[in-house]
């Protein structure tokens, strides 16, 4: 915008729309900066696009899901509300953050079931489930068998 010497993303919605005669178009942020314009503080055209920033956050939270004991903790780490986190996960992953959290816990439980003789209830608590019934339900949902059946099957495969 010529009058304020601020450049924005085309998708930016400033509080007051500038007149058409005050709008000027540049091919890149660098070209606008070279012409003496500064970046809009609302849409941050000089940084990462908001959608890309959201995608990076969802990927980071997915990678480190086992570090969180709840979806609320994940949301706090991502500096968003729980409802926003659910929306972002559905948009970028097609699943909810709780599903990601439970899947990662079940994957960790599989490794523990294969590599130790610890009880199923102990493994369930170690990977972050609050109850054995929640662990069993999620394990069956993601793996298709109960945890003890999974352990027995793995032991048979190793013995063969």
pLDDT by residue (tens digit) across 14-64? 767 778 787 888 888 888 888 888 888 777 777 777 788 889 999 999 999
pLDDT value of position 127: 95
The DSSP output letter for 20 is G
What pLDDT shows up at residue 124?
96
Query: pLDDT tens-digit profile of 120-153?
Result: 999 999 999 999 999 999 999 999 999 999 998 8
What value does the mean pLDDT take over residues 98-108? Answer: 96
User: Does 103 reside within a domain?
Assistant: yes
Lowest-confidence region among 6-10, 104-108, 119-123, 129-133 = 6-10
6 phi and psi, to 5 degrees? -120, 135
Provide the 3-class DSSP secondary structure of residue 7: strand
45 in any annotated domain: no
Judgement on whether residues 74 and 56 belong to the same structural domain of the protein: yes
Q: Which domain holds residue 133?
A: 99-159
Q: How far is CA 106 from CA 92, 138, 142, 156, 158, in A?
A: 22, 7, 7, 20, 20
CATH number at residue 108: 1.10.10.60
Q: Do 57 and 28 sit in the same domain of this protein?
A: no
pLDDT value for 23: 80
d(CA 149, CA 110): 11
Model pLDDT, residue 1? 58
Residue with tokens 């339900």: 137
Q: Residues 120, 148: contact at Cβ < 8 Å?
A: yes
Q: Dihedral of CA 121/125/131/135: which sign?
A: negative
């Amino acid at each position: 915008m010529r009058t304020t010497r601020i450049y924005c993303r085309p998708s930016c919605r400033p509080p007051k729309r500038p007149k058409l005669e005050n709008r000027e178009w540049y091919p890149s942020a660098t070209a606008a900066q070279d012409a003496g314009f500064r970046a809009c503080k609302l849409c941050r055209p000089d940084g990462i696009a908001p959608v890309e920033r959201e995608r990076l956050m969802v990927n980071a939270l997915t990678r480190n899901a086992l570090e969180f004991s709840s979806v609320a903790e994940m949301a706090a780490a991502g500096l968003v509300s729980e409802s926003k986190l659910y929306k972002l996960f559905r948009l970028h992953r097609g699943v909810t953050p709780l599903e990601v959290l439970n899947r990662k816990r079940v994957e960790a439980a599989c490794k523990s079931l294969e590599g130790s003789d610890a009880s199923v209830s102990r493994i369930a608590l170690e990977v972050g489930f609050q109850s054995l019934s929640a662990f069993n339900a999620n394990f069956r949902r993601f793996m298709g068998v109960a945890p003890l059946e999974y352990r027995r099957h793995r032991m048979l495969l190793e013995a063969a």
